[in-house]
Amino acid sequence: MIGVIDYGAGNTGSVMNALERLGAPARFARGPEELARDAPFDKILFPGDGHFGTTMASLESAGYTEALREWIRADRPFLGICIGLQALFENSEEAPGVPGLGVIRGTVKRFPGRKTPQIGWNSTRVISTAAGAGGRLFRGVPDNSFFYYIHSYYAACGERDAVTATAEYYLEYCSAVERGNCAAVQFHPEKSGAAGLVLLENWLRFF
């Protein structure tokens, strides 16, 4: 069973539809207690889009902040999508002074150009890792496949070995990370057609 974190601003509908299409049982987590060691979930998915500060405030008020940190530290399967990737980092220029989950070193920065957000399809370059090109998440996904993005900020990852894919928008930036059973992507696989479904299926199979 997959637990989906609903913090009130995520793009949860299309994520649930994609999981249903793949035949993966999923439901929304009812609270942080469901992320404890005796949790009913095998995997946690944290989808969404929105403001970094608002997201972190919502997680904190609902009690999810430390529960998510503990889940990831225990190396239990996790997938973050869009803001779900950015929240893994230490902080963001979008909300100065607001800490992220801090489970991956680095900060989230605003794109330097004036034309933001980046909205639409973008080519995604797969990086070679010890687990193969793109790690487990990108198995069977051709290099430079197009995924759907919508964001004004990007993750400047301080852990080079964790980066499994990059994209370009004004500059080359981290598009996906994978460390142990924690994975996250900046794009929206649930809106990315066949390539996105392959990526989600890889997460279901290999994590």
Catalytic annotation present for 151 = no
Q: Using the structure block, give the residue that is written with the tokens 């070193």.
A: 105
Selected catalytic residue, list 94, 178, 182, 188: 188
The domain in which residue 67 lies consists of 2-206
Catalytic annotation present for 157 = no
Catalytic annotation present for 188 = yes
Q: Each residue's pLDDT tens digit in the chain (207 positions)?
A: 999 998 776 678 899 999 999 999 999 999 999 999 887 999 999 998 889 999 999 999 999 999 999 999 999 999 999 999 999 999 999 999 999 999 999 999 999 988 999 999 999 999 976 556 678 999 999 999 999 999 999 999 999 999 999 999 999 999 999 999 999 999 999 999 999 999 999 999 999
Quickly list DSSP for 58-72: HHHHHTHHHHHHHHH
What CATH number corresponds to the domain at position 69? 3.40.50.880
pTM of the predicted model as reported, rounded to 2 decimal places? 0.95
Burial of 120 (0-12, 13-18, 19+ CB in 10 A): exposed
What is the number of domains present in the chain? Answer: 1
Selected catalytic residue, list 82, 157, 174, 182: 82
